[in-house]
Amino acid sequence: MVGGAEKWVMMVTAQTPTNIAVIKYWGKRDESLILPVNDSISVTLDPDHLCTTTTVAVSPSFERDRMWLNGKEISLSGGRYQNCLREIRSRASDVEDEENGIKIPKKDWDKLHLHIASYNNFPTAAGLASSAAGFACLVFSLAKLMNVKEDQSKLSAIARQGSGSACRSLFGGFVKWIMGRDEDGRDSLAVQLADEKHWDDLFIIIAVVSSRQKETSSTTGMRETVETSLLLKHRAKEIVPKRILQMEEAIKNRDFTSFAQLACADSNQFHAVCLDTSPPIFYMNDTSHRVISIAEKWNRSEGGRRWHILLMRAQMQY
């Protein structure tokens, strides 16, 4: 019996930051499992500034699973939400709240319904990884509620099925998403390269040049790029593997010049891949171009001795 006949509610609240990729993920080799065509590396941002806060609740009085995003109810019928809910429920353990006299046996989690309330403190679907923070927070909070005993990397493989880059938001600091080789995706997961204290004098400033939703969704854009871009194939096979190793070394040594050069080069190539897509995809606007021009002039004014500004190209964090 689940918690007796009382109409109890059990809740967990969690907060998860977004992340910004310095070696980017763009393109899937498997759409349903969200398996990428290359490894990626990201920096997890400060949750005080860019984060998702999610509260998950369970009660025998709930008649169905429901979710609210930024105060507005949304459907949970989509495959990505259902994949995450199914995977977490399958890993649930017994839960006991002695203080309130609530016991939930493992077998009862499939019978109980959830209410989920999620809030982003930054624009949604504007290129700032709201889905990454959102699905990471959903998986993390559900895992806490259901007493899931998997480690963060294994949880990241579940978050990945909601939004690819969500797997990286389950860790702080510098994170690598290993593309994996297995067809079932079990080895496509995130690992922490260095924690948030490793490079504590590195600051990232996010300038939101537009809060409007992207004209081309990431899912659509990636699919069209995989189908039409020869540059993407060259990037995934020849360029990214080398850059991953170089970026890992730059992070390890806190080598800002190499870090900045690699990140900017990879961001430029990401946008080149988007332009190589048919039809071409544009994720930067006029303001983005002006900001980049100013930053490049500032860096050049230092005579190449130092990169004072690392510009994560506006409007796509992947």
Q: How far apart are CA 147 and CA 164, in angstroms?
A: 24
Looking at domain 10-306, its CATH class is alpha beta
- Give the pLDDT score at 296: 76
202 token code pair: 């590195």
Q: How far apart are CA 101 and CA 97, in angstroms?
A: 6
Q: How far apart are CA 129 and CA 1, in angstroms?
A: 41
Only one residue has tokens 């854009």, namely 221
Q: How much is the pTM?
A: 0.90
8 to 75, 99, 103: CA distances (angstroms) = 25, 12, 11
Nearest to 288 by CA among 309, 263, 312: 312
Q: How far apart are CA 287 and CA 210, in angstroms?
A: 9
- Cα dihedral value 122, 127, 133, 139, nearest 10: 130
Residues 6-52: tens digit of each pLDDT:
689 999 999 999 899 999 999 999 999 999 999 999 999 988 888 89
Q: How far apart are CA 259 and CA 109, in angstroms?
A: 45
Residues 76-126: tens digit of each pLDDT:
999 999 999 999 999 999 999 998 899 999 999 999 999 999 998 876 554
Q: How far apart are CA 16 and CA 47, in angstroms?
A: 7
Q: Are 131 and 166 in contact (CB under 8 A)?
A: yes
Residues 245-302: tens digit of each pLDDT:
999 999 999 998 899 889 989 999 999 999 999 999 998 888 888 877 877 777 777 6
35 token code pair: 């398996």
Residues 218-232: tens digit of each pLDDT:
889 999 999 999 999
Instruction: For strands 174-178 and 40-44, give the pairing.
Output: antiparallel
Only one residue has tokens 């004209």, namely 215
3-state secondary structure of 48: coil
- Give the pLDDT score at 6: 64
81 token code pair: 């939400």
- Give the pLDDT score at 291: 79
- Give the pLDDT score at 226: 97
Domain extents in the chain: 10-306
Confidence category of residue 129, pLDDT binned at 50, 70, 90: low
- Give the pLDDT score at 208: 73
